[in-house]
Amino acid sequence: MNARLTTLRAGVWFLTVVEIAIGLVATLAPRAFYDYVPWVDLIPPFSEHLMRDYGAMNLSLALVFVVAAITMERRMVRIALGAYLLFAIPHLIFHLTHLEHFTTAGAVGQTIVLTVAVLLPVALLILTATLSSRRGSFDAG
Model confidence over 35-84: pLDDT tens digits?
A: 999 999 998 899 999 999 999 999 999 999 999 999 999 999 999 999 99
Confidence (pLDDT) at 131: 85
> What pTM did the predictor assign?
0.91
Is 7 contained in some domain? yes
Q: What integer pLDDT is reported at residue 1 of this predicted model?
A: 59
Percent of the chain residues topping a pLDDT of 70 = 94
- Note the pLDDT of residue 33: 97
CA proximity to 40, closest of 100, 96, 110: 110
| Any domain includes 137 | no
Query: What pLDDT score was predicted for residue 135?
Result: 65
| Domain of 66, in residue numbers | 3-130
Asked whether residue 140 is domain-assigned, the answer is: no
How far apart are alpha carbons 17 and 69 in whole angstroms? Answer: 11
In a domain, 67, yes or no: yes
Q: Residue 90: pLDDT above 90?
A: yes
Decide if 136 is inside a domain. no
Total domains in the chain come to: 1
Q: Among residues 80, 69, 76, which one has the least CA distance to residue 8?
A: 69
Q: For residues 120-137, give the mean pLDDT.
A: 86
